[in-house]
Structure 1
């Protein structure tokens, strides 16, 4: 830790801490298929899918996606409506993630001659790829990333080493702890620790947590952790109805606004709470995301998928 930084410190023998975690992970961990590849395209797909979907459900979608579009070249050549439709059919969250993934594949083909950029900074040039995803792809595909800091990692560092609930402190601690040149295995390992042993309700002994001898929370019994954001319910959410709009327009090609409304929710009434104004708001969002076109030339707006 740098002088004058936050009031926390890693154990006196950080090498032992590192070896214990990597050994624990390599002995036994969840066998997700994207952990068996270093293909940056396959890893990017897994990272984008995992942003709003439980990992267990991502496996089937990830395998089906790559079977249909196994390379960036094939994804870039695909009809965007088909890619968005796949996203909707598999309940993978916001449809604009599918749009961005499609556009990123096009960038790889056109701007990088089909070869992925390898550093976090370059990867952020791809559409829809932010700092976290860029670093994850750099780590897992190229072993060339910084420490990944997600909710699980923050929880582990907060409990084990009293790192304060501060993003800068978490970044500093995570990068200080990560062994040089081992971002692939390290980031997988520490996220696995947070996901399997150091969950919101910890399972220290049951999961054989390798950090128990150093962990402040284990010693004190105080397993307080930073607040963990709760994913909003999908049922009845705006995300759900965005997906229904896309799915319905895939079936009907185009619809006037009221017939569309009646097909996406049973309580749709043109002048009601869930009526034209509500639906036009959803359509405007989808239009802004480049997923839907609204023809406003007639008396009644007509919606269609953007091709």
Structure 2
């Protein structure tokens, strides 16, 4: 198969696509990483795992996912939860942007209020939920309902680029991934191709060590050229506004409310009320969190105080 766009981008898959599919599925089913969310078809549990995994290594997600489900075991429990508690959990487990916790809580409320507690089963329906983008919607549709399209993430792009010489072009990646997807098999296929990218075709490939099932057809394996598409560099977390926003949420999770000069030293050891990292800097962080609906600001006796929104 081949496809093109305005730049006349083309690609081709091996003639025996069925053999390519069978080899990958057999490799995956023979042995793969046993993450607990791969053993469930519960849409709620899968959604939680997908949102957590967006910015966190999978091995670190395992404990956080289990703790989250212990506390809020189903969509009704999460919808009934205090949003501040959900955000505080997210921060305490270092799960990335706190907005994701807020959106997950709001999505749970949507499922309960608008869908009688039952998740939509298609990517299109799932995208109607708050904070659920195309990738996450497709993953949940695939793994919970076996009704997804081909997943195309960074790992999948790298696999397609190396194995079948698919050019670094989003339309080409989408077309190639869709052509490879066996009809009605999105659950096993998307798990398998992502496993291939995460285990055998990493940045430094482990073709023989991992027993890559596509070595017979792989362009990179044949030529020895294991370059891969450019991956955007994640900004440094240490010292970032994102880090301090998380600290604000974490600290406020343990207090009803705090004034600026009570909160500041708890999130920065070099906080000085009139210094570079002082009240004005802290007000900026709090304003961002207020805009995101995570923190509430009020005036008490002429002083600004902050608390988590409940």
Q: 23, 26, 48: which one pairs with 1:23?
A: 26
Moved >6 Å (runs of 4+): none
Please list, as runs of the form range in 1=range in 2, the aligned pairs for 1:218-229 lying within 5 A after superposition.
218-229=221-232
Superposition map of 1:1-307 within 5 A: 1-2=1-2, 4=4, 6-296=9-299, 299-307=302-310
Preserved contact between residue 150 and residue 177 of structure 2 (Cα < 8 Å): yes
Q: Which structure 1 residue ranges, 5 or more long, are not aligned?
A: none
Larger deviation: 272-281 or 193-202? 272-281
Query: Over the residues paired in the alignment, what is the CA RMSD in angstroms?
Result: 1.3
What is the CA–CA distance in structure 2 between the aligned matches of 1:59 and 1:261, rounded to whole Å? 32
Deviations 1:204-239 (CA, angstroms, capped at 9, x unpaired): 010000001101011000101011233333322222
Q: How big is the shift at 1:284? A: 1.0
- How far the C-alpha of 1:296 sits from its partner, in A, is 4.3
Give the Cα–Cα distance (whole angstroms) in 2 for the partners of residues 65 and 244 of structure 1.
20
Unaligned runs of 5+ in 2: none
Structure 1 residues 276 and 20 mapped into 2: Cα distance closer, same or farther (>3 Å)? same
- Tell me whether 197-206 or 278-287 shows the greater mean CA deviation: 278-287
1:89, 1:57 → 2: CA distance?
13
Query: Is the CA contact (8 Å cut-off) linking 2:157 and 2:173 kept in structure 1?
Result: yes
Q: TM-score, normalised by structure 2?
A: 0.96
Corresponding residue SS for 1:81: helix
SS in 2 for 1:49: helix
Relative to structure 2, which stretch is displaced further, 274-283 or 137-146? 274-283
**Residue 277 of structure 1, CA deviation:** 2.1
With over 3 angstroms needed to count, the CA separation of the structure-2 counterparts of 1:294 and 1:71, relative to structure 1, is same
Secondary structure of the corresponding residue to residue 297 of structure 2: strand
**Higher mean displacement: 272-281 or 44-53:** 272-281
Q: What is the aligned length?
A: 307
| Counterparts of 1:25 and 1:274, CA distance in 2 | 51
